[in-house]
Structure 1
Amino acid sequence: MQRRNLIAGIALAATATLALAGCAGGSGGSDGAADNEFDLVEAGTLTICSDIPFAPFEFEGGDNGTGYTGFDIDLLDAVAKKLDLKLAVQDVGFEALQSGTTLASGTCDVGASAMTITEEREKNIDFSDPYYESLQSLLVRTDSGITSIDDLEGKNVGVQQGTTGEAYANENATGAEIVQYPSDGELWPAMQSGLIDAILQDQPVNLEHEKADKAYKIVEEYETGESYGFAFAKGEKDALLEAVNGALKELQDSGDYQTIYDNYFTAK
């Protein structure tokens, strides 16, 4: 009896061990930890962080299952498909994202938020190859009397905190009061309510506001030599960074990048 109980106990233990092993690898495919070649936050899913809204680069809507769309989102959706991954999007603050804090915490795999590649940011972030060239611009009310950055003395100029637009305003808007906002989601309503006299930020975003309301216009654009890149935790996502760069190149070579670009930036 004791010997039979011992044998039964061994058999049960072996069965439990096999069951546990089966659970560990039972999901199969890219969902298994062993198959997570890019060290993703969630195996099988490319999780991106973005400060939303910042149209036309990221805003609510779309049909990709994430609840968000825009040039950045659509481009990374195409990248994810190239890598046989699903896409997930998290809305986060830009300041923590551009400083590298959000990425270092492991919240997401990629930062996609119309982020300019700068030497300062490269101290804390690894960037993909550039995927978009941008300008800065000045948006004002059509009846404001403001025709250039030289007319901003004594005016309240809205900028997004931590951006190259803020840096440009600080360096060039002599005599203006620079007012920081966390995102365009606060900048635009502040402009409409008269709290600020102008917005200095990326040209495509101001262009969206100009299109939406003819009471506002872009009076100047500034060549700053800016290029956007997708952001990664410093020194931690080398395989993913290489794969994303490869997918971007394929999309550019195939013409798919141009199709996505034209959807947002070509007049129809």
Structure 2
Amino acid sequence: MTRRRTLATGVALAASSVLLLAGCAGGTDPGAEAPESGADYGLVEEGTLTVCSDVPYPPFEDFDDSTESGFTGFDIDLLTAVAEKLDLKIAVQDTGFDALQSGTTLLAGTCDIGASAMTITDERKANIDFSDPYYDSLQSLMVPADSGIESIDDLAGKTVGVQQGTTGEAYTTENAPEGTEIVRLPSDGELWPAIQAGQVDAILQDLPVNVEHVRADDTYTIVEEYETDESYGFAFAKDEKTELLEAVNGALAELQEDGTYQEIYDSYFAAE
């Protein structure tokens, strides 16, 4: 596995492969139409797609008082378009990621769907049903530009922040050298302030999130990217939302076919 890659290459990989994944994974027919409005999806609130998401995690989800839902981001915008296809409005609840990825929040029935840049894994599929993939991602290592850290191998004797319950945590646990202190925090909302305050020496997490931080503050840099064959999916309570899952997959296929998906994607990830 080649760990060192340029940022442009990583973004290009995500952009090119996600379309293939979303178009063919899960057996969804790209020409399939979303079910007609009025279908019984077993929604928490009639006429509303209630979404649970761990916020903030830009560019996938973030707070935004200027929007009707009070939230923004790639996941939110994409699900808003999905909801429109199903003649539904969208409501978003800020939820902890660990309980969401374990299936606990979804089984509690507080929301219809989980959207939180969640990687589809076999472990999670034991407790969660996933939509067709909608985004392909990489992991990455971000450090202060003057840190002297050039790779994951330089983390011995250093502290690296990860989000608990994520594939970034799993990758770090497996690949960080002996002597690395791994600091597990609930979300990027704690990780970013931690590195700014010098409480951790590095952050290892999803590439697009670290890219957002580097764009906001050029005193930080991404020194490595890691191919982990990760694809994101929207999450549903196990075996409880079959009709809604099929409808969301149909809507995603329509959005791919009519170009809406690409428009939303480009608004967040197009190369500058």
Question: What is the rounded CA distance, in whole Å, between the counterparts of 2:256 and 2:232 in structure 1?
Answer: 15
Shift of 1:36: 6.1
Shift of 1:174: 1.2
State the number of aligned residues. Answer: 235
Shift of 1:63: 4.5
Specify which of 114, 118, 122 is matched with residue 115 of structure 1. 118
Specify which of 212, 219, 222 is matched with residue 215 of structure 1. 219
The corresponding residue for 1:181 is 185
Residues 1:193 and 2:236 aligned together: no
Q: Where in structure 1 are there 5+ consecutive unaligned residues?
A: 1-29
The answer to whether the 8 A contact 1:36-1:44 is kept is no
Question: What is the rounded CA distance, in whole Å, between the counterparts of 1:241 and 1:170 in structure 2?
Answer: 33
CA deviation profile, 1:145-204 (whole Å, cap 9, x unmatched): 000011000110000000000000000011211100000000000000000000000000
> How does the TM-score come out when normalised to structure 1?
0.86
Question: What is the rounded CA distance, in whole Å, between the counterparts of 2:57 and 2:230 in structure 1?
Answer: 17
The corresponding residue for 1:39 is 42
Residues 1:90 and 2:93 aligned together: yes
The corresponding residue for 2:239 is 235
Question: What is the rounded CA distance, in whole Å, between the counterparts of 2:128 and 2:183 in structure 1?
Answer: 26
CA deviation profile, 1:5-39 (whole Å, cap 9, x unmatched): xxxxxxxxxxxxxxxxxxxxxxxxx8xxxx56000
Q: Please tell me whether Structure 1 or Structure 2 has the larger radius of gyration of its CA atoms.
A: 1
Residues 1:69 and 2:55 aligned together: no
Q: What amino acid does structure 1 have at the position aligned with 2:86?
A: L
The answer to whether the 8 A contact 1:36-1:43 is kept is no
Question: What is the rounded CA distance, in whole Å, between the counterparts of 1:124 and 1:236 in structure 2?
Answer: 11
Specify which of 190, 196, 202 is matched with residue 206 of structure 2. 202
**Where in structure 1 do 4 or more consecutive aligned residues deviate above 3 Å?**
none
The corresponding residue for 1:140 is 143
Shift of 1:208: 0.3
Question: What is the rounded CA distance, in whole Å, between the counterparts of 1:149 and 1:174 in structure 2?
Answer: 7
Residues 1:172 and 2:175 aligned together: yes
Question: What is the rounded CA distance, in whole Å, between the counterparts of 1:120 and 1:174 in structure 2?
Answer: 25
Question: What is the rounded CA distance, in whole Å, between the counterparts of 1:148 and 1:104 in structure 2?
Answer: 40
Question: What is the rounded CA distance, in whole Å, between the counterparts of 1:62 and 1:198 in structure 2?
Answer: 31
Q: What amino acid does structure 2 have at the position aligned with 1:73?
A: I
The corresponding residue for 1:250 is 254
Question: What is the rounded CA distance, in whole Å, between the counterparts of 2:87 and 2:61 in structure 1?
Answer: 22
Q: What amino acid does structure 2 have at the position aligned with 1:76?
A: L
Shift of 1:118: 0.2
Question: What is the rounded CA distance, in whole Å, between the counterparts of 1:94 and 1:262 in structure 2?
Answer: 26
Question: What is the rounded CA distance, in whole Å, between the counterparts of 2:156 and 2:138 in structure 1?
Answer: 22
Question: What is the rounded CA distance, in whole Å, between the counterparts of 1:102 and 1:111 in structure 2?
Answer: 9
Q: What amino acid does structure 2 have at the position aligned with 1:156?
A: T
> How does the TM-score come out when normalised to structure 2?
0.85
